[in-house]
Amino acid sequence: MRVVISLLMLAILSSCITVPKPIYYWGAYEDLSYKAVKGNEEADFQKLMVSFTDIAKNTAKGSSGKIPPGICGDFGFFLMRQGKTQEGKQWLIKEKSLYPESTTFIDSILKMAEK
Partner 1 sequence: MRMIKFLILFVICFGLSSCAKKAAAPLTKIQVYKDLYKEAPVSILVMLPINKTNNVEVKDFFYTTLTTSLSDMGYYVIPPFMGQEILRSESANDTERFVEAPLQKFGEVFGADAVLFTTVTKWKKNGVTDNVEIQIEYVLKSTKTNNVLFQRKGNLVYDTSIKPPSNSGLAGLVIAAVVSKINTAATSYVKVSRMCNDVTLSDLPTGKYHARHRLDSASFAGLKEFSTKIGGN
Question: Cα separation of 95 and 63, whole Å?
Answer: 18
The mark string for 40-79 relative to partner 1 (x by CB under 8 A, - otherwise) is -----------------------xx---xxxx-xx--xx-
For residue 52, give the amino acid letter: F
Q: Which is nearer to partner 1, 34 or 82 (CB)?
A: 34
Answer for the pair 90, 80: CB distance below 8 angstroms, yes or no: no
- The set of residues, in sequence order, having a beta carbon less than 8 Å from that of 97 and lying 6+ positions away, is none
Residues that bind partner 1 (CB under 8 A): 14, 17, 19-20, 22-24, 26, 29-31, 33-34, 36-38, 63-64, 68-71, 73-74, 77-78, 95, 99, 101-105, 108-109
